[in-house]
Chain A
């Protein structure tokens, strides 16, 4: 990181990013106004921008853009939260109890290859298109990184620390809570960040198919009405929110890993 900063000062690098963004915008503007592609197929950036503004106070597919977003976020937080709440403790426990590791790992390894979107038929059959189905789909995307990173983190904790607390009379619960959890925190936070991203992607996938509100649903309705501008507005919203989620978790991740390397996370 520092080497790149030395060769190219931060301000220069920011300008490159801005330039890339402007070039893309310019290209989009140019092509959409060139008459090469029908405006209905490729609305210009200014049209999409005004569509976003319009969707914010005019309802489409039953709700305004914010309302769709809130319902998406609610569903997302539920599925993602559940993945974190189950994935981290289970991962840590698998890192500690060998029998649990042997019990869960084979199933998990198999389930891992079923992409979140492949859960859709099953999720609908079992949990319907209300909250249950989408929840399972988000969960199936967000769960593995939480589990795997907690598990790997726990496995990498200094064995001597574990032995030390065991000789002090620590129960299994204490080994997990007081040694494995703090010891694998950097790895866990990385897992949570990955899981947040995959969860967000899976959510939209789920919404495209199973629900009656949310950004995904808004896009499907846009498509049904041949409103490319609405579809693109939805995509931009998804991208921006995803970026925001990732950015905030990156900040947390960095501050934790900085603390850990300072605090001598291990000897």
Chain B
């Protein structure tokens, strides 16, 4: 059984068909990157897994169960962080644990662990507006990881960050994915980010939104041990350059269709 399954999923907004006939099976602990032209329905697809949106055709299942509502088994990391401005870093990270009724001592231990892991030491009692964008996104990542979800859904999580911070966060995410493997759906506009992070890359097309091609990266990544290398080293590898060009061409052809 796959972790996430889309069965002939379609979504209409009124008469407008945003997504048509998407089928995809995501394996357990697989890192999927989704790329595609703006408006092709990437966010909508992800929201249907989160339970924030529902298909008008077909169905979406997580661990075999049809998604009917949001739940802590499917954590979402938003582009705009969406941290509670009136809560400290510690309280924001611990929020999900409070919701699930985790014991205070256990909660403290877990939150402390993620504060350290995300290099947020010394900021535990700061408020989100006192942190840089990169730090806020670390808090959001920690908040999602700490509840130990089966599935992590990330919608352009680094889209609001500057280039340097973004690179640091990408490496951070690879480290996280290596040490705590999870099933991940990762939406991005950056082809390099997709190739660097994903096991498989889903390239979408639009009018209506659909899957055009799925590119497997996991074999190359494992055989060349990318996760042991820094992002700049990986980006110099011929295999990386080759994949990047391939994805980029596909993406370009989707955009030229407009």
**Which residues of A does B touch, CB under 8 Å?**
158, 160-161, 163-171, 174, 178-179, 182-183, 262-267
Contact = CB atoms under 8 A, between A and B. Distances in A.
A263 B82 contact: no
A266 B128 CA distance: 10
B75 interface: yes
A202 to B, nearest CB: 33
B84 A167 contact: no
Greatest chain B CB density within 10 A among A161, A164, A174, A262 is at: A164
Given A161-B82, A170-B99, 8 more contacts: A158-B82, A160-B82, A164-B76, A167-B72, A167-B76, A168-B96, A168-B144, A264-B128
A178 B76 contact: no
B95 A168 contact: yes
A51 B55 CA distance: 75
Contacts of B72: 167-169
Interface residues of B, number: 30
B131 to A, nearest CB: 11
B87 to A, nearest CB: 8
A169 B99 contact: yes
A88 B147 CA distance: 31
Given A174-B99, A263-B129, A168 B143 contact: yes
A168 B99 contact: yes
Dominant SS among interface residues on chain B: loop
A263 B75 CA distance: 26
B99 A171 contact: yes
B248 interface: no
A164 B85 contact: no
B50 interface: yes
Contact of B82 (A163, A171, A178, A262): A163
A265 B83 CA distance: 11
Contacts of B129: 262-264
Given A160-B82, A178-B84, A267-B81, A165 B75 contact: no
Contact of B75 (A168, A174, A179, A182): A168
B99 A163 contact: no
Interface string B70-111: 111011101011111111000000011011100000000000
Contacts of A171: 99
Contacts of B96: 168-169
Contacts of A161: 82, 84
A163 B128 contact: no
A169 B74 CA distance: 9
Interface in B228-246: none
B52 interface: yes
A61 B207 CA distance: 81
A263 B130 CA distance: 8
A166 B78 CA distance: 13
A166 B98 CA distance: 13
